[in-house]
Each structure stands twice: as C-alpha cells, then as structure tokens.
C-alpha cells in the first residue's frame, strides 16, 4: 500500500489527545469503610467490570477517529491491483461507431455526438497521450490520418463526423485498432470502443471471433487494455419507447428488363421494430421526386406489412423511384428517421435484339423458331410492348460483322454449323453474348459433342442418347423448389405451371469429367446462376454439375443447364422449343419461361439489360433527381441493445472492461496505472465509528447518572 498525500498521514498522531484526556481525568478516591458496606461489596465488584470494559472500548473508538481521518486524507492506494506496464506514457486508440443507429437522439444529443464529446474529453484529460481515432461504420477509417497529441485537432476532425456510414464493423474495427496500436511507440496501450452495442450486431458474433481478438490483444510485449464504453440510445427510464422504430425498404427486382411505356410494378416492405402496433401508417411513392401515389396500412408489433405501386417510364435511361413514410403520428415516437425513406434506380432499356437460327425458316413454314418468335415478340407492332426484337435467319448468316448487333443467339433444332459459323459463335459468346441451344429431332448430337464440347468447351454438358417416354407416361419436370432467383416466379401458378409440361422425347445430358474442364485455363467455365456481373471474371466449373442445373426431369436428369464461356453465357436444353416431342409451346408457362431465359442471356451481352439496382455507378446516376441515398441495413433499424449482463459477458470474453462514461474509464485507468484508492472505505468506516462512539458515550453517561 502507498499514499498519495503521505504528509497528511502525520495527523494520525491526534489519537494521543483522547488518550491523554482519559488518563488525566481518571477518578482518584479514598476508601472509607462503614458498617453495612460489606453487604454490598460483592454486587459492586460484579457491576463495576462492565462499565470498565465500556470505557476502554469508548477510548479505542475515540483514538481510531483521528487515525482513520488522517489516513483518508492521505489517500491510500492498494498497489497490489496495479497492472504491470500500465503506468508509462500512453498510446490511446478510440474506435467510434458511426453506423446509422448512432444517429438516434437521447434527448437533444445523438449517441454519436455523445461519443464525439467523450473522445474530446479523453483528449483533454490525457494531453500527454498519443491519440488515434478510427470510425467503425461500414468499414474502419482512420479519421485523423495518423496520430496526434493535439486535443484541438481531434475536436476539429470529429466535428463533421456523421452517423451515416452503414453497418457497424465491430471485428474489423477492433483489428484495425490493434494494428494501429502496434505502430504507436508509447508503452502503455489503451483501446476504447465507443458504441451503442446493438443486439442485432453484437449478438450475431461468435465466441471464435472474440477468442481471436483476445489473443491479439495479449500478443504484444505489453498487453493492450480494451474498454467497452456504452453510449445508450435513450434513457433507461422508458425502455419500451427506446426501441420504437418504423422502417421501409423496396424489395429487390429480379433483373427483368424494363421497357418504355410498360407497366412497372414495385413492392415495398414496412417493418415495425417496436413492441406497439402501428395503425394508419402512410407510405408515399415518388418517381423522379414527383408524388405518384400513397397507401395507408397497419403494421403489427414486431411485424411487417407489404405495399405495392405501379408506374410507367416514357424514356430510356435510369430513373429514381422512392418510397417514404410520411405525415404519420406514429413517426413522433419513431427513433430513427434515416430508414423512413428508400430509393432505387430503375434502368429502362430498348428491347434487346435476339437472333433465332433455324434451317427450316421459310415464309409460311411451321419451323421451331415460329413458336419462340411469338413468345419473345407476341405483338405484331414492334412500336410498343414487345420485350425483344426478334430476327430469324439461317446458320449461313452467322458472321462476326452481323452478330455485333445482337444480345443473344438461339439455335432452334439446328443440325450442325459450318466452321466459319462456329468461329463466329465462339467469339460472340466469349466477348459477352448469350447462346441458347434447343435439341430437336434434327440435331446431330455427335457433331455437337465433338465440336462444341470436346474441341471447344462451349456446351455445359454432352448430348447422350435420345430417349422416348412410354405411351401414356410422359416425362415431367421435377416437383422441387427452384433455387435460381430469376425462376422463382414459377413457384406461383400465376406465372405459369411448370408441372403442366409433358415430354415424349428428349436427349440425356451428361457431364464431362470436371478436371478436363478445369484444365482449360483460357476458357474457364462458371455456374450460370451464381454470376451477377455481365463482364465478371469467370471461374472454373465446380466439381459437380449440380450447380449448373436450372431445371431437371422427375427422374433427376437435367432438362435445362447453363454455364459461362469467357464473358458470355450458354444455356442448353434437352428438348426442342417446338411441339416436337413435348407440349411445351402449347402451355401458358411457355411465354414467361422463354422470356425469362432470353432476358438472362441478354444480361451477359454488355449494356443490353442492366440490372435494377440500388447502387448504380456514380456516373450513371440520374443527375436531375439529386443524390441517391444509401440503403439502410435492416439490422441498423433494430434498436434493441444487448443487456448489461450480455455486455459484461462480452467484456469477459475479450478480457476487457465495460464502462458507462469517461469518468468511469478514467477511474479504471487510474486503478490500472496506480492501484485502487481506498479512502472512500476509510471515510465510511470513520462515519460508522463516529456513530458508534456517540451511542456508546450516551449509554455510559446514563449508567453513571
């Protein structure tokens, strides 16, 4: 134990005063015997012992009073609690959570402003410390671009920090802070994480992650001291109101092309993260900042409600649509305003051009391409309504100069291609075009396998033997949940029933050896449904062909498979697109299915069908509509916090200290560097002794009177 004010300990000598008074005032008397005294002598001896012990106890208490008072003024410190290496010059890194939820106000001050004030307060208290400040919203960012000893600079740099940086990156922030401390020279290293500690963020992280962080904290020559400083979203007096929040988002589109003057339907989802049901919630829908419509709905506590709007776009290009919660009394208790509006950019395109190759294409003939032409361009007038521009030609027209104008090519029961046409198709697909192959009765399977599978790995699978169904037992598609996102509309019978399709003839599609495909580094093949960007780098085919299957027969054999070739896409069908061997073109599902397939192929042809997106490139955003707001992560809208017990457990897992204020952090830091001060305990003991001395003195006085 040591003392911060050692000189004041000399005041303990004041205990000599009550001792001297006691000794000087001892009663001196002379014994005089008288006749009846011997009858009381025995009783007096017994009753005299107790007052004597009480007097000694009173003397002890009076001596302890100045001693404890002097020790309290001297501020004793238990040095046994001092942390080794924590008393040197300090390096301090502050991690500031500036995610969206930190914009929630506690009174008139947001949680982020409280964090900024706490950081500047630390800088003022530790002027000799080397400081670094990192924000942890979305991804860690060095706010100061280095370190500083200047509190004024810290306050200036943090003045413009806003709570709009997406989702908190807790683990990445801690790792960045540890790495930063490794570059700082002072021996005592402190890491302070200031956050609201949302349950949706912190509860989802596992023990393995915290164990790795804990090891990193203790890996250096001097362990890093971590403190978790909670900045509550609201006062604890009303925990129910603290989590009340409504949020809206527009559900993602499935990359279906949007055409001019075509009805476009969009869906929104309103979520109530609070524990109180909200009625009369009004949602406004806007296009290019113009009010188009509004809906009123009810949202149950902890539930969701869906709302839909429709509109048309008269011009090509990118258009911003927006949904917003407006003019609601419920918004008076809404804790987070940033998630009350959601924007999306819709790309309106001209119908892409599709080239159908059919050797039997003659005016008035019943060729396979006739059915497909009607499905892709059902209207005679091409001015309005057709999602595709369709041309039909023979394979002799497959020349590089002609193919540049098309987004995709379809081989409809084509027997074989000439070498010049093969080279043109290979270059077309490799540069980003789409290719679809239907296998009708005139297809030469051996030629396709040798030329377009073995010599040039264009086909996803080989054509094996042609199969025939038993009479009155047609083959059907498997009744299973579709995993490909852009085909999930066929889960609903409103889009067409895949179960209605029946096949009497088809080719078996078999996979080649995976290693043979992977060895062709110049033409690497990837899963069709896992690729998102039209010109993304292709990956090798997986060891299993299951990832390339889009739809399959009820016997487990593939009906529709897909893959990548260069920057393009290839779809292979085991049957014809006509009524040869199936009822495919006679069913209502034929039109939406063919349109979906060709639309996805056209995505691979560059700019033909850009996706509907919430974050387009900056150069492509609408210039007249203003800035596009960043979508809010739904986890940020859930304002529930981890409990005090969970925060304490988290601190134990990290070997950290949980604090609620800068003052508490400073106190904990003082304990680590100097030890624990115990003067409060001594003052408490002093008050107890004073009270005991008062009671004992009164008792002795009453007994002697």
Predicted confidence (pLDDT) per residue in 100-111, tens digit = 888 887 667 888
For 653, the token pair is: 């897992």
Task: Tell me the residue length of the chain.
Answer: 705
Chain mean pLDDT for the chain: 78
Tens-place pLDDT, residues 175-219:
999 999 989 988 889 999 999 898 888 887 778 888 889 999 988
With 60 as the cut, is the pLDDT of residue 514 above it? no
538-568 b/e with 16+ CB inside 10 Å = b? bebbbeebebbbbbbbeeebbbbbbbbbbbb
- Residue 231 backbone phi and psi in degrees, to 5: -115, 100
Compute the distance between CA of residue 407 and CA of residue 609 in angstroms, rounded to an integer: 9
Rounded to whole angstroms, the Cα distance separating 354 from 516 reads 32
271, 357, 438 from 363: Cα distances, Å: 56, 14, 21
Q: Determine the pLDDT at residue 10.
A: 63
Average pLDDT over every residue of 647-651: 91
What is the SS3 assignment for 67? helix
Write out 13-61 in H/E/C secondary structure.
HHHHHHHHHHHHCCCCCCCCCCCCHHHHHHHHHHHHHHHHHHHHHHHHH
Q: What's the pLDDT score for residue 675? A: 52
pTM for the whole thing? 0.64
pLDDT at position 13 = 66
Is 97's pLDDT higher than 80?
A: yes
| Cα–Cα distance, 219 to 626 (Å, whole number) | 49
Angle at 124 between CA 121 and CA 129, to 5 degrees: 115
Choose between 29 and 479: higher pLDDT: 479
Quick check: 429 and 566 in contact, CB under 8 A? yes
CA atoms within 13 A on the CB side of 318: 23
Q: What is the pLDDT of residue 519?
A: 31
How many Cα neighbours within 13 Å face the side chain of 104? 31
**Burial group, residue 216, by CB count within 10 angstroms (0-12, 13-18, 19+):** middle
- Which of 374, 371, 368, 369 shows the shortest CA–CA distance to 356? 369
Give the pLDDT band (50/70/90) at residue 587: very high
Question: How, if at all, do strands 188-195 and 225-230 pair?
Answer: parallel
Pairing mode, if any, of strands 264-272 and 304-311? antiparallel
pLDDT band per the 50, 70, 90 thresholds, residue 698: confident
């Amino acid at each position: 134990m040591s003392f911060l004010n050692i000189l004041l300990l000399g005041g303990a000598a004041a205990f000599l005063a009550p001792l001297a008074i006691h000794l000087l005032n001892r009663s001196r008397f002379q014994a005089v015997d008288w006749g009846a005294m011997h009858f009381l002598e025995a009783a007096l001896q017994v009753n005299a012992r107790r007052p004597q012990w009480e007097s000694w106890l009173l003397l002890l208490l009076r001596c302890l009073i100045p001693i404890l008072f002097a020790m309290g003024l001297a501020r004793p410190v238990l040095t046994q609690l001092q942390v080794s290496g924590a008393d040197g010059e300090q390096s301090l890194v502050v991690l500031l959570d500036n995610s969206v939820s930190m914009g929630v106000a506690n009174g008139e001050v947001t949680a982020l402003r409280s964090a900024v004030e706490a950081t500047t307060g630390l800088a003022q208290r530790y002027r000799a410390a080397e400081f670094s400040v990192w924000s942890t919203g979305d991804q860690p960012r060095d706010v100061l671009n280095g370190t500083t000893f200047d509190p004024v600079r810290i306050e200036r740099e943090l003045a413009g920090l806003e709570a709009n940086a997406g989702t908190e990156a807790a683990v990445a922030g801690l790792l960045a802070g540890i790495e930063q401390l490794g570059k700082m020279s002072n021996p005592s290293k402190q890491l302070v994480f200031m956050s609201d500690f949302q349950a949706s963020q912190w509860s989802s992280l596992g023990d393995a992650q915290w164990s790795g962080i804990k090891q990193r904290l203790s890996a250096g020559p001097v362990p890093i001291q971590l403190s978790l400083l909670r900045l509550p979203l609201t006062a604890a007096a009303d925990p129910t109101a603290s989590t009340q929040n409504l949020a809206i988002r527009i559900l993602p589109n499935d990359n279906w092309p949007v055409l001019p003057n075509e009805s476009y339907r969009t869906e929104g989802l309103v979520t109530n993260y609070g524990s109180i049901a909200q009625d009369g919630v009004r949602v406004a829908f806007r296009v290019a900042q113009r009010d188009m419509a509004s809906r009123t709905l009810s949202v149950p506590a902890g539930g969701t409600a869906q709302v839909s709007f429709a509109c048309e776009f008269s011009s090509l290009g990118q258009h911003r649509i927006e949904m917003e919660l407006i003019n609601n009394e419920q918004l008076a208790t809404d804790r987070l305003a940033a998630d009350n509006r959601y924007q999306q950019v819709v790309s309106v395109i001209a119908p892409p051009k599709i080239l159908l190759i059919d050797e039997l294409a003659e005016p008035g003939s019943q060729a396979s391409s006739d059915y497909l032409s009607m499905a892709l361009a059902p209207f005679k007038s091409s001015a309005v309504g057709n999602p595709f521009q369709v041309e039909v030609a023979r394979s002799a027209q497959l020349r590089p100069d002609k193919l540049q104008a098309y987004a995709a090519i379809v081989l409809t029961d084509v027997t074989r291609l000439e070498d010049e046409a093969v080279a043109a198709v290979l270059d077309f697909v490799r540069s980003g075009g789409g290719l679809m192959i239907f296998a009708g009765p005139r297809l030469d399977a051996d030629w396709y396998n040798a030329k377009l599978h073995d010599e040039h790995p264009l086909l996803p699978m080989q054509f094996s033997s042609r199969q025939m169904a038993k009479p009155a037992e047609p083959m059907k598609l498997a009744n299973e949940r579709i995993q490909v996102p852009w085909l999930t509309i066929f889960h609903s019978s409103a889009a067409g029933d895949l179960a209605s399709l029946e096949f009497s003839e088809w080719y078996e599609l078999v996979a080649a050896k995976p290693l043979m495909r992977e060895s062709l580094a110049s033409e690497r093949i990837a899963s069709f449904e896992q690729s998102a960007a039209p010109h993304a780098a292709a990956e090798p085919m997986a060891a299993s062909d299951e990832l390339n299957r889009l739809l399959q027969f009820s016997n487990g054999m593939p009906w529709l498979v897909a893959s990548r070739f260069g920057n393009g896409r290839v779809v292979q069908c085991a049957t014809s697109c006509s009524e040869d061997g199936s009822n495919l073109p006679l069913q209502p599902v034929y039109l939406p299915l063919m349109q979906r397939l060709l639309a996805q192929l056209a995505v691979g042809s560059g700019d033909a069908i850009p996706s509907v997106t919430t974050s387009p490139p900056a150069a492509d955003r609408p210039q007249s509509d203003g800035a596009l707001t960043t979508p809010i992560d739904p986890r940020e809208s859930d304002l529930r916090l981890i409990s005090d017990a969970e925060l304490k457990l988290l601190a134990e897992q990290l070997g950290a200290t949980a604090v609620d204020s800068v003052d508490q952090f400073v106190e904990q830091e003082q304990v680590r560097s100097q030890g624990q001060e115990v003067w409060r305990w001594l003052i408490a003991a002093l008050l107890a002794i004073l009270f005991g001395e008062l009671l004992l003195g009164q008792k002795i006085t009453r007994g002697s009177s």
